[in-house]
Structure 1
């Protein structure tokens, strides 16, 4: 597709970015609105399933579509992804109860996974590795923009409109993206010599599903050592062993193991795993600090995280331009990691809204290049015929890193809060609930749950409605809870910084191959060509 005119390539990329924005903003807009939607539909105990099912289906779709798009081309899959996502979004708006919403969110997740997998790979089809730099930066900017607009728009819709418009408002954008890709995106003939790895796809799915469920539920729904969690991990191991056996025997594996003989691919995937595991601390737990510890409302809390997305947008665009101009990426990746670590350490010490904003800015400046570099690196390190499957492998490792990181950080937060309560009790600052009647103990226990801090109006109402003689006690418990939450979040941010430090060290060992100026694996520089040929794994 390098033979297409530059004007047509740009038109196709505009359509792809519209599809990406459509999928991304539908996810960010839901995050703010979901608590209100659940309150209307009921079923708060199934709240996590609305998020979990989306993550599961999108991850599975991303991996499975990677190899299939290498065989059939990107066009049918990105069109399918848009249609499936639109159907899921429309059905979500018709949900009468929480169970319908969960099912339809699963459909949405399938569409999102297909869109994400094919969109990033399509850049590789359209442009040489050198040119991809600026486009990868722009694609990352699409995520940043959706993260800025989505939360504010979601809050506005549920406050001023019917909740189903959260899912329906951007459906016209999906139609526009579909028509543009249908008309502009060229067809690619199927490689008839390649077969589909059905058994490998099945057991890859059976590996991913219990693994993600185990890390999603461990420490919250079930104990880490519970029978349910151990059984899920055991099922993951068994399915993984069978999957590896299948992949060594089939002619066209869904995830070629030969990819991981390429040091650049393996190292980039490991760094992507660590990067997502570490950065989720900032994205997931900053609201706990701003709303829970500082007592800032959700609306203004969003303004504090907005600088991170804006600085990420600027940094990703500039880093993309830099890679396109120079063909180099390693120093950029190292700089991104340094800024991420600095931002996370600043979060460890933050004690005010101003410090939180500065932390967000520094973290966003690091996130921009870090998010765009490694996807580009692995595409540059393999043959063009493996773009789909290698891009899917990178997104798989990132999804796993994010899920596992959030689960571990959640456990660390709970442990940190419990530990802080013990320290408060030992110093005489804590409140001994055993001195009260069982009924009173049950009421007071709610004031030791950090969730209560995330709804300040409801918390103030609960304190005001309590007997006057209890006010001082409740205020003391709230102060203790804020102190415990702040302490535990500090542990999480320190853990995130340590993880990112490991990623920084690994980045030093990443071999830099100057970005190719052609998708045919040839450049004007013979030494560069020899280095690229040496880095490319054997084609399966």
Structure 2
């Protein structure tokens, strides 16, 4: 991504390439969950894969950062269904006592694909056009769609239900306005940020009113307010903020500050995506012996430990320093995320499990969205305080152009800004740990199947 930003220009919009995708994904997670109840899992998955593939093709044809942001938004709309509906399918197929083990298997599959992804991306950047980073999704997506179409069998209920379209629209507006307010914060964009903040407050207030009057609200506030769900989702939200800070800005530091290749930057993130499924599998096998809450707290404690190496990075640091930090944070997220989803699912009866699961995925996606925006704002503010033309020189640095003197100055300014974002990641990880101690012991509500 850093090289793509260097070629397309407008580096100040860098964080929006990630935020637009996460925004659309977050806004549609709960909506697609309801649509899956109405029209069946398979139909919703096939439609969402189609939308995602259209967005992927368009991303490859992007001619500027704003166009790439718009096409990433389309991608995010399709991606909004994939994770929640897939986990819903697991809930349909497996009993409660088997879900932890199955979640570990899913994390392993995700881990393998996540290892292949960064490595493939680095190879594509070195040997092909960057557009193929997006176009490679097409054959993979078509194969997945064929699998769902041929092998997923289900009986769709004819029960009449409604989708809270007004609530979904107000929620999307509120989150989008919040993103703009965070991204434009600072002297240069203070007017835009103020207007966006007002829109966010107004849309958020209307959203609350709508949800209280809707027959089938998008978010059931009574469910979200329960202590187990509220505390676990708060931990999940902040952990999502911490991880997106790593995945968004570590590649930029490795390539532009440390002078490493895109392939080496991919290896740094590979350490995290290796640790995540490994810890998820180990944690799932020990839920019965150690308990869900201790495993969740242990995972949360690993996040600040893993974030410490990033604030100690320098241009001369060995790549193993960043790799170690990524691995530890991956372990933390593996323990934390798997324990969180099983803890929430086990705290409710069968009739509420779908909504409760969606709430946790929503919290993680919202945390990722807010994290990309907040930490992107930190980086932009740091670069804006630098010397004149710093954004243009940093852009040339990422693209591999510019004078030697300008590269040295830009690298120093970028290193300072990225260190501030890494301190932000450490702070957010510390908050995650503090919140985890408020998660109650696992409980099982009346009516939950065994």
TM-score range, shorter chain: 0.7 to 0.9
In structure 2, the partner of 1:367 is 333
Q: Distance in 1 between matches of 2:109 and 2:438?
A: 30
In structure 2, the partner of 1:292 is 256
In structure 2, the partner of 1:399 is 365
After the TM superposition, which residues 169-188 of structure 1 pair with which residues of structure 2 at under 5 Å, given as runs? 169-188=136-155
TM-score by length of structure 2 reads 0.86
Alignment of 1:458 with 2:401, yes or no, is yes
Alignment of 1:118 with 2:85, yes or no, is yes
- What CA deviation, in whole Å up to 9, does each residue of 1:186-239 have, x standing for no partner? 3243352533323222322222222233334435xx746x22111111111111
* 1:454–1:83 CA distance, 2 compared to 1 (3 A): closer
* 1:267–1:230 CA distance, 2 compared to 1 (3 A): same
Moved more, 169-178 or 47-56: 47-56
Deviation at 1:266, TM superposition (A): 1.0
Q: Distance in 1 between matches of 2:430 and 2:65?
A: 41
* 1:159–1:215 CA distance, 2 compared to 1 (3 A): same
3-state secondary structure, aligned to 1:255? coil
3-state secondary structure, aligned to 1:458? coil
Structure 1 unaligned runs (5+)?
A: 1-30, 422-432, 434-441, 464-473, 524-540
Contact 1:52 1:216 in 2 (8 A): no
* 1:252–1:191 CA distance, 2 compared to 1 (3 A): farther
Q: Residue 496 of structure 1: which of 425, 431, 442 is its match?
A: 425
Q: Distance in 2 between matches of 1:45 and 1:345?
A: 27
Structure 2 unaligned runs (5+)?
A: none
Moved more, 301-310 or 159-168: 159-168
Q: How many residues align?
A: 447
Q: Which has the larger radius of gyration?
A: 1
* 1:359–1:239 CA distance, 2 compared to 1 (3 A): same
Contact 2:29 2:361 in 1 (8 A): yes
Contact 2:5 2:65 in 1 (8 A): no
- What CA deviation, in whole Å up to 9, does each residue of 1:310-354 have, x standing for no partner? 22232222223333x548311111111111111112322234123
Q: Distance in 2 between matches of 1:280 and 1:266?
A: 21
Deviation at 1:489, TM superposition (A): 3.9
Contact 1:157 1:165 in 2 (8 A): yes
Q: Distance in 2 between matches of 1:97 and 1:288?
A: 19
After the TM superposition, which residues 147-158 of structure 1 pair with which residues of structure 2 at under 5 Å, given as runs? 147-158=114-125
Contact 1:223 1:229 in 2 (8 A): no
3-state secondary structure, aligned to 1:248? helix
Q: Distance in 1 between matches of 2:64 and 2:392?
A: 31
Alignment of 1:80 with 2:47, yes or no, is yes
Q: CA RMSD in A?
A: 3.4
Alignment of 1:235 with 2:199, yes or no, is yes
Deviation at 1:494, TM superposition (A): 3.2
Q: Residue 336 of structure 1: which of 296, 299, 317 is its match?
A: 299
Q: Distance in 2 between matches of 1:83 and 1:369?
A: 32
- What CA deviation, in whole Å up to 9, does each residue of 1:277-304 have, x standing for no partner? 2233322222343233322233323223
After the TM superposition, which residues 21-420 of structure 1 pair with which residues of structure 2 at under 5 Å, given as runs? 31=1, 34-35=4-5, 39=8, 50-93=17-60, 103-161=70-128, 163-190=130-157, 192-219=159-186, 223=188, 226-323=190-287, 326=289, 328-351=291-314, 352-353=317-318, 354-413=320-379
* 1:393–1:167 CA distance, 2 compared to 1 (3 A): same
Deviation at 1:482, TM superposition (A): 4.8
Q: Which has the higher contact order (CA 8 A, sep 6+)?
A: 2
Contact 1:212 1:400 in 2 (8 A): no
Contact 1:315 1:365 in 2 (8 A): yes
In structure 1, the partner of 2:437 is 508
Contact 2:15 2:376 in 1 (8 A): no
Deviation at 1:112, TM superposition (A): 1.0
* 1:43–1:148 CA distance, 2 compared to 1 (3 A): same
3-state secondary structure, aligned to 1:79? helix
Q: Distance in 2 between matches of 1:108 and 1:379?
A: 28
* 1:108–1:349 CA distance, 2 compared to 1 (3 A): closer
Q: Distance in 2 between matches of 1:164 and 1:498?
A: 35
Q: Distance in 1 between matches of 2:391 and 2:180?
A: 29
